[in-house]
C-alpha cells in the first residue's frame, strides 16, 4: 500500500459539489499518475470510520475531497490510529463552502492545482490539537486541523448542522444560521485558562483557538496564528453590544480584530474553558459538543501536501 492513496470523498460537501465534481477529480488524479482507491462518505462522521478501515488495510496516504469538516474527520480518523507514524501524508482537494484550511496553505478550489500539488509531493508538517469536549454526557475526543471556538461562532455551526441534518442544502445555509444565531444569542460567563493560568473570567461573546488564521470562509479570528509553531492563538471577544459587532464586522475579515477594545488575545499550548451555563463547542466548523472543553496542542503532528 506504500504507493497507493486512499481518497475519502464527501459527496455532500459544498452543497453537493463533492458528488457532482468527483468524476472530474478522479479523472485528474488518474491523468496525473496518482494511484488510488476511493471510499464515499455516506453520513456525518463516516469519514472517520472509513479512514480507520483503510488504516487497517495498510493505507498511510490519504486524500480528502471535501470541505473543512471532511478534513477534520479524516484527520480525526488518522490521529485515532497512530499519532506518530512518519509515513502518514494528507492531501486535500477542496470542494467545500469555506475551504479555510486550503486558504491557509494555498490549496485552491482549482482541482487541477490541488491535484498537481499532490502529484509534485511537496510536504510540510503542521500542528494539530486534541479537543476533549462533552457530548451526550460523556467526554469525546476530536482532533483539530485549523480553528475551533465557543460562544457565538459555535452557535452558528450548531444551527447550520441542524439545517443539514434536516436535509437542507444551499450556499445560504451559513448566512441563515448566522442570522438566527446572532439575534438569539446571549453572552455567557466563561472561565478561560491558558497553560494553567486564568486568562479571563466573565461574560463572553465568542472565543476562538486557532492553529490556522481563517474560519467561516475567510474571517480572521486568530490573525496571528501560525500552523507550525507549536502554539494556539487564543482570541476572546468579551461582552460586547451587538450593534458594535455589526459595525466592526469588517475587522473580522481584515485581520484588525485585535484593535477592538473588547478583544483580548494570547498564545499557549493548552486551553481549558468552563462556562455557566454550558456552551457549545465547534472544531473546524463542526459542532462537536459542549463545555467544559480542553484543547491541547500536538506540535508537528501531520505531514501535509502543499504548494
* pLDDT tier, 246 (very low <50, low <70, confident <90, very high otherwise): confident
Residue 81 clears pLDDT 80, i.e. is over it: yes
E strand or H helix at 177: helix 173-184
pLDDT at 37 over 60: yes
C-alpha separations of 240 from 158, 177, 184, 207, 258 in Å = 21, 20, 15, 13, 14
pLDDT at residue 163, rounded to an integer:
55
Angle CA 206–208–214, to nearest 5:
120
Top pLDDT among 112 and 168 is at 112
Say if residues 299 and 128 touch (Cβ distance below 8 Å).
no
Q: Residues 231-259: what's their mean pLDDT? A: 90
- The whole-chain average pLDDT of the chain stands at 90
**pTM to 2 decimals?**
0.91
Instruction: Give residue 245's pLDDT.
Output: 81
**How confident is the model over 260-302, as pLDDT tens digits?**
999 999 999 999 999 988 898 999 988 899 999 999 999 999 9
Q: For helices 152-165 and 173-184, give the axis angle rounded to 10 degrees.
A: 130
**219 alpha-carbon distance from chain centroid:** 13
Q: Which domains does the chain have, with CATH numbers?
A: 5-121 (3.40.50.10330), 129-300 (2.60.200.40)
Task: Tell me how far apart the alpha carbons of residues 211 and 233 are, in angstroms, rounded to a whole number.
Answer: 7
Distance CA 248, CA 188 (A): 20
Residues 6+ apart with CB under 8 A from 87: 2, 60, 61
Amino acid at each position: 500500500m506504500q504507493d497507493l492513496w486512499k481518497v475519502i470523498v464527501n459527496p455532500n460537501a459544498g452543497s453537493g459539489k463533492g458528488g457532482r465534481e468527483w468524476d472530474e477529480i478522479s479523472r485528474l488524479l488518474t491523468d496525473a499518475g496518482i494511484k488510488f482507491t476511493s471510499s464515499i462518505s455516506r453520513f456525518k462522521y463516516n469519514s472517520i470510520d472509513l479512514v480507520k478501515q483503510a488504516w487497517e488495510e495498510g493505507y498511510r496516504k490519504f486524500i480528502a475531497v471535501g470541505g473543512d469538516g471532511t478534513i477534520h474527520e479524516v484527520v480525526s480518523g488518522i490521529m485515532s490510529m497512530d499519532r506518530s507514524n512518519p509515513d502518514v501524508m494528507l492531501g486535500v482537494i477542496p470542494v467545500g463552502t469555506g475551504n479555510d484550511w486550503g486558504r491557509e496553505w494555498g490549496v485552491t478550489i482549482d482541482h487541477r492545482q490541488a491535484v498537481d500539488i499532490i502529484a509534485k509531493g511537496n510536504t510540510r508538517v503542521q500542528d494539530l490539537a486534541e479537543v476533549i469536549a462533552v457530548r451526550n454526557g460523556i467526554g469525546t475526543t476530536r482532533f483539530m486541523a485549523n480553528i475551533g471556538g465557543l460562544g457565538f461562532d459555535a452557535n452558528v455551526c450548531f444551527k447550520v448542522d441542524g439545517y443539514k441534518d434536516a436535509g437542507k442544502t444551499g450556499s445560504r445555509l451559513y448566512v441563515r444560521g448566522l442570522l438566527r444565531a446572532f439575534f438569539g444569542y446571549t453572552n455567557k460567563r466563561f472561565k478561560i485558562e491558558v497553560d494553567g493560568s486564568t486568562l479571563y473570567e466573565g461574560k463572553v461573546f465568542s472565543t476562538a483557538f486557532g492553529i490556522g488564521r481563517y474560519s467561516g470562509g475567510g474571517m480572521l479570528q486568530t490573525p496571528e496564528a501560525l500552523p507550525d509553531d507549536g502554539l494556539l492563538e487564543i482570541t476572546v471577544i468579551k461582552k460586547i453590544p451587538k450593534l458594535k459587532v455589526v459595525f466592526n464586522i469588517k475587522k473580522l475579515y481584515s485581520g484588525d480584530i485585535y484593535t477592538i477594545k473588547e478583544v483580548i488575545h494570547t498564545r499557549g499550548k493548552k486551553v481549558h474553558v468552563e462556562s455557566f451555563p454550558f456552551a457549545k463547542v465547534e472544531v473546524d466548523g463542526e459542532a462537536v459538543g459542549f463545555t467544559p472543553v480542553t484543547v491541547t496542542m500536538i506540535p508537528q503532528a501531520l505531514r501535509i501536501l502543499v504548494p
